[in-house]
Amino acid sequence: MIYKKHIIRAKRRKKNKRMRPVLGILLSAGYLMAVTGCTQEKAVEVTEEEEIVYNNYADFETLVADLPNMETDENGGSKEIELTFWYSDARQAPYYEAAAAEFHERYGVKIFCDYQDPVDYLDAINEADIAYDGPDVFIVSNDQMKKAYLAGLSAKNTLYSDAFWSANYPEVAKKALMTDTFTTGYPIYMDTCLMIYDTALTSKPEHFSDITDFAVGFEDETNTKTVFRFDISDPYCDYMYLGDGAIVFGEYGEDTNAFDVSNEAVVRNMTYYQSLRDYFSLEVETSTYEEIKQELKEGTLVYGIVKTDIIPEMSEYGSTYALCPIPELSDGLSIQNLSTTYGACVSSYTEHEEYANLFAIYLSYEFADHLYGLTRSVAVRSSIPHMETDEESAYEEYKSSVPVPKALENGDFWIYTEICFKNIWNGNDVATELANLQHQMEIRLQ
């Protein structure tokens, strides 16, 4: 049943696309008019409306219940309504194409799925909008959603109520897509880090100390095994070692007043991180993700830190490797694993707002139980079963993770963090390096 609440809402008039070249210049230069205060105030007209609270997909279908699925073509005839959908991760193509086909069969609206190069992806959307040829719906990672919204590329998600979020998605998904006091986009799938281990040689560890204990007692008769490896140069993987004591842009990843990575709790965590070098002969330059995958193919790795993109490749690594959530470092030393949530955003410039929103919801909710079977990517919707072992392990890790920050200063943070972690791994004083990172970011955030 659909419940309605009587409210007064400000309705936007259609935006003027001729303003887009200005936005394009600012987006390319890394500046946003919404940030600098240079945006032109939008004209609004206040109208009385009823806000609809949607409880299930049938409720969402009422968005288009009274709408035609045909429109006038250039010659004055009729044609099916067409939506353009952009994405930049080729791995997801089978899911998008299948969803588009099912959506067309169900509603008579054609969806054209276009893969785009991930390099300068938002700029490409902006340029297409300028040319009146932009996508109606597009996929973007949560760390880019604020930038997309402030640049005027995407609209708010006003259709998912708090109750719908809670019933169908984990809290991390909502936090990932939250900016200020509202959400943008509809969550579809995620990436995060996991642990992989060889079940023929060991079992799932409860703590990192189980791995170090294993290393001390392990006798490698073939002299070919690597006990543990992770990509030291990747700050996305390293981030977890900061632990729960780290405060990086607050709960929603965008509060520039909330930054603390030099407190005692973080120093203790990173001191443990540095001690791992005493057990594992890993060098920054050679301990890479590519090396991890190569050792998995050869069957020589015992434990490793991987990302969810490895799930489709598991069959290549033999039957004895398994995935599990990453354990705490030790009793009292936690981890804080990152995750990236990918969502469907509705363009601010679509001429078919209702159908565009419904297709985004279709990808996020209605068709989500097909995602893993088609792509081996893990859907973030919680109200569907995550049946397979690798899928379940990834989803459990995701639920306990924190969203990758979306603050616009994010890029500098990753640069500084990579340097900090390398220096600590190579033996520099932990407290000094963390204090340097804190100081650099405080200057950047002024």
Take residue 49 and report the two structure tokens written for it.
């409306």
CATH fold of the domain at 192-339+404-444: D-Maltodextrin-Binding Protein; domain 2 (3.40.190)
Rounded to an integer, the average pLDDT of 183-202 is: 97
Instruction: Please state, for a pLDDT cut of 70, what percent of the chain lies above it.
Output: 89
Which CATH code for domain 3-190+340-403? 3.40.190.10
Rounded-to-integer distance, Cα 314 and Cα 422, Å: 29
Positions of CATH 3.40.190.10 in the chain:
3-190+340-403, 192-339+404-444
Rounded to an integer, the average pLDDT of 128-138 is: 97
Rounded-to-integer distance, Cα 313 and Cα 307, Å: 11
For residue range 306-327, list pLDDT tens digits in order: 999 999 999 999 899 999 999 9
Question: Whose CA is closest to 290, among 236, 233, 212?
Answer: 233
Q: pTM for this structure?
A: 0.89
Higher pLDDT, 27 or 214: 214
Residue 43 has pLDDT above 60, yes or no: no
Higher pLDDT, 367 or 13: 367
Rounded to an integer, the average pLDDT of 343-362 is: 98
Residue 281 has pLDDT above 70, yes or no: yes
Between the alpha carbon of residue 319 and those of residues 166, 197, 202, 206, 294, the distances in Å are: 37, 11, 14, 22, 16
Rounded to an integer, the average pLDDT of 260-268 is: 98
Instruction: Count other C-beta atoms under 10 Å from residue 388's C-beta.
Output: 14
pLDDT value of residue 6:
26
Rounded-to-integer distance, Cα 256 and Cα 197, Å: 38
| pLDDT band per the 50, 70, 90 thresholds, residue 298 | very high
Residue 338 Ramachandran class (φ > 0 left, ψ -120 to 50 alpha, else beta): beta
Residue 14 CB-density burial (10 A; 0-12 exposed, 13-18 middle, 19+ buried): exposed
Residue 131 CB-density burial (10 A; 0-12 exposed, 13-18 middle, 19+ buried): exposed
Asked if residue 330 lies in contact with residue 208, where contact means CB atoms within 8 angstroms, the answer is yes
Rounded to an integer, the average pLDDT of 289-307 is: 97
Instruction: Count other C-beta atoms under 10 Å from residue 320's C-beta.
Output: 11
For residue range 429-443, list pLDDT tens digits in order: 999 999 999 999 999
Q: How far is C-alpha 25 from the chain's CA centre?
A: 26
Instruction: Please state, for a pLDDT cut of 90, what percent of the chain lies above it.
Output: 82
Looking at every residue in the chain, the average pLDDT score rounds to: 89
The region of weakest confidence among 43-57, 95-109, 163-177, 296-310 is 43-57
Residue 41 has pLDDT above 50, yes or no: no
Q: What is the chain's alpha carbon radius of gyration, rounded to the nearest angstrom?
A: 24
The region of weakest confidence among 38-47, 71-80, 384-393 is 38-47
Instruction: Count other C-beta atoms under 10 Å from residue 139's C-beta.
Output: 23
| pLDDT band per the 50, 70, 90 thresholds, residue 11 | very low
Residue 414 has pLDDT above 70, yes or no: yes
Let me know the angle formed at the C-alpha of 136 by 135 and 142, rounded to the nearest 5 degrees.
85
Long-range Cβ pairs for the range 365-368 (8 Å, 24+): 365/57, 365/60, 365/168, 365/186, 366/57, 367/95, 367/98, 367/99, 367/102, 367/103, 368/188
Instruction: Count other C-beta atoms under 10 Å from residue 435's C-beta.
Output: 15
pLDDT value of residue 2:
42
Rounded to an integer, the average pLDDT of 160-183 is: 95
Rounded-to-integer distance, Cα 28 and Cα 20, Å: 12
Residue 369 has pLDDT above 50, yes or no: yes
- Map residue 226 onto helix, strand or coil: strand
pLDDT value of residue 52:
76
pLDDT value of residue 82:
97
For residue range 219-256, list pLDDT tens digits in order: 998 889 999 999 999 999 999 999 999 999 999 999 99
Take residue 299 and report the two structure tokens written for it.
């069957």
| pLDDT band per the 50, 70, 90 thresholds, residue 170 | very high
Rounded to an integer, the average pLDDT of 105-129 is: 97
